[in-house]
Each structure stands twice: as structure tokens, then as C-alpha cells.
Structure 1
Amino acid sequence: MYARFLPHVRPGGLILDAGCGSGRDALAFRQAALLLGQEVPVLCFEDVAWQERFDGIWACASLLHVAPADLPDVLRRLQRALRPGGVMFFNFKYGQGQRHSPDGRRFTDMDEAGVRALLDALPELSCLDMRTGEDDRAAELRERWIQVLVRRIPSSD
């Protein structure tokens, strides 16, 4: 996934790891760019208020915990945080609707039609790539995902 995302981020560009969880992805980006001494703010998606600050946003396995009704607002906030020309990666477990795991965590599943409906409401985001695939966990744990790469285009106003 990194190989599809990183070539679209300008050299030296600033990446927001939106929902960094264990830090696995942030570590990969840090090693790729040899960045040191970064602060890591802890925010809810509803608190994202940056304007045109990031060249890339990586939202791997994080938006899937947002309720479907809240996804348009969250994506709008992330869109505003992207510089024009910036790219955002996000993914969902493949499917439709909302469900809860046995431990109580909420999951919003998406398929191609669901992603297209979200993007239709955000005309500044242009889809560069949408595909499905399985993760690389052990066979008994594997799940199907939909992966999306979008670019923020300049507004027409």
C-alpha cells in the first residue's frame, strides 16, 4: 500500500498518519523520509481543523471505526487538511453497513458503491485508485478490504 501512496506525496512532504494505532505506519514513513523529533498529537477526527497543511494523509484501518452518519463530515475535515494536489489513502473492511465486534468496537464496512457515494459528496476529492484485496495475516485471520487513494484537486471557486 505504501508503494501506491508515497509516489504521489511530494518529496519532503508532510504526512498525517490519521489513526496511527500501534505506530507501524508512522514508523515506516519516518524511516522512508528519515524524519526525527516529530510531535504526535492525539485527536478525535471531529477535532481535525487543519487547513491545507498536509501533502498526504494516511488513514489506514481508522475510518472504519467512524459511524456511517459521521463519515462525510470526517472526510470533509481531512479533505480540508490536505493541500491541493495532496493525496489521501483510506480503507475499510469490505462489505456494507455497521456492525460491532464481540469486544464492542464499532466497524463500518464499505464496498465500491459505498465509497463512490461518499466521494460524490466531496467533489474536491478525485479517486486515483480503488481496489479490493486481502490483508497479509495468517489464513484463518485474513479479511477482505477495499483500499482507496484520492487526490485533492483545487476548488473551482
Structure 2
Amino acid sequence: MTIQFYQDNADDFFEGTVNVDMSNIYHHFTKNLSKGALILDAGCGSGRDTKAFLDMGYSVEAFDASSELVSRANEYTGIEVKLALFNDVDSLAKYEAIWCCASLLHVPEVELPLTLNKLAEALKPGGTWYMSFKYGDKQREKDGRSFTDINEQRLTTLVSNLNNIGIIFTWISEDNRPSRNEKWLNAILVKR
């Protein structure tokens, strides 16, 4: 259902997200990364963040579940963006950082523990992990997409089940898109 939404609305989604200024969040994510660090952009959508990280001098691998968005992200970023799901990630300790901006929120709540564990295994010790969810405490459907909303308590519970992953800090932000009035839970995590 959710993937089909992005297949059917890829142009609108691309245009609505590709130019959103995320620099306020990039700062928190990149401040401890070394130049050239390998970042996984998991659920990259338009490729906006992949391109930003490439422009900052990082190495980036990216994937998305929508072939229509993969096509647009390939063209926009100039790198090969893969068509994949979160559970296709099978690397072990490969990435210095993982970026999950507004992507994990489409994973059903019952599948989140397995998904987070696969991503945690792909992160190197000392690695940084960013994730964001719409702020809340329920599973819901809206406009052809499913959402798992997360608050601080739900995030703490999810992360407590991961080996060697700790939350560094969380913050609530307003949506960076001017036409939206939504709150987001942002989190920076680290692998010990």
C-alpha cells in the first residue's frame, strides 16, 4: 500500500521534498563524522539527503523501496541508488553512519524491532545513526500510506532491545516543509 502511494505520486513527492532545507538536522548528524565517511541513506526518497552528503564530501550508498523514486534519485544524485527494502540490508559493520529520515515511519510497528536490528548490525562500532518519526504513539493509515508514530517512550523501548545501540539525544521539531504543520521526533543514536 505505502510503496504504491510513492509509485503513483513520485513526481509530486520528489518536487515537494527535494528542495527542503535540512541543514539544521545535518549538523547534528555529521558533527562527529570524519571526512569521506560512508553513510547509508536508508529510504532515500528523492535523494535530497544523499546529494547533500555527497556535496559535503561523504561517501554515500542509498536505497528506496519505490522504483519510481529510485529512478529520480539516481538522476538527481548521480550515483546508483538501489531498489531495496530495509530488510534487504545484510551488511555487517559496514557504515560509519546511517540516515533514516522519515523512512522508518512506514515500517509496521510489529516489524520495527527486526528492521532496526538489521540496520544496527550494518553500523560500525562508534557509528552514528539518525532516525525520525512523526510524533505520536500509534499505528495509523492516511492517504494510502501506513505510519508508525513514535514518541520518546516508544523509541526508548525499541532501542533498549538493540545490542550496543544507545540514544545520544532526541528532539522534537516542526516539519521543515512550509506547507506542513506536523511534529517530528528526531533521534541521534550511536553504536558502542
Preserved CA contact (<8 Å) 2:38 2:58: no
Trace 1:50-89 onto structure 2 (pairs within 5 A): 50-89=91-130
Trace 1:93-108 onto structure 2 (pairs within 5 A): 93-102=134-143, 104-108=144-148
- CA gap 1:53/1:34 in 2 versus in 1, 3 angstroms: closer
Segments of 5+ residues of structure 2 without an aligned counterpart are 1-24, 60-76
Match of 1:47 among 88, 95, 113: 88
Runs of 4+ in 1 over 6 A off after TM superposition: none
The residue matched to 1:33 in structure 2 has which SS? coil
How far the C-alpha of 1:37 sits from its partner, in A, is 6.2
User: Is 1:6 aligned with 2:26?
Assistant: no
User: Cα deviation per residue 1:42-61 (whole Å; 9 max; x = unaligned)?
Assistant: 21111110111000000000
How far the C-alpha of 1:129 sits from its partner, in A, is 1.3
User: Partner residue of 2:42?
Assistant: 18
Supply the AA of the counterpart residue of 2:189. Answer: V
- Between the aligned partners of 1:100 and 1:89, the Cα distance in structure 2 is 24
- Between the aligned partners of 1:21 and 1:38, the Cα distance in structure 2 is 14
Preserved CA contact (<8 Å) 1:130 1:146: yes
User: Cα deviation per residue 1:62-115 (whole Å; 9 max; x = unaligned)?
Assistant: 00000001111111000000010011100100001111112x111000001000
Preserved CA contact (<8 Å) 1:58 1:89: yes
Supply the AA of the counterpart residue of 1:106. Answer: S
Using the aligned pairs only, state the percent identity: 40
Supply the AA of the counterpart residue of 1:144. Answer: K
- The higher relative CO (CA closer than 8 Å, separation ≥ 6) is in 1
Q: C-alpha root-mean-square deviation of aligned residues, in Å? A: 1.5
Preserved CA contact (<8 Å) 2:91 2:122: yes
Preserved CA contact (<8 Å) 1:17 1:25: yes
User: Partner residue of 2:157?
Assistant: 117
Instruction: Flag the structure with higher helix content.
Output: 2
How far the C-alpha of 1:141 sits from its partner, in A, is 1.7
Segments of 5+ residues of structure 1 without an aligned counterpart are none
User: Partner residue of 2:186?
Assistant: 147
How far the C-alpha of 1:39 sits from its partner, in A, is 2.9
Paired residues, what number? 151
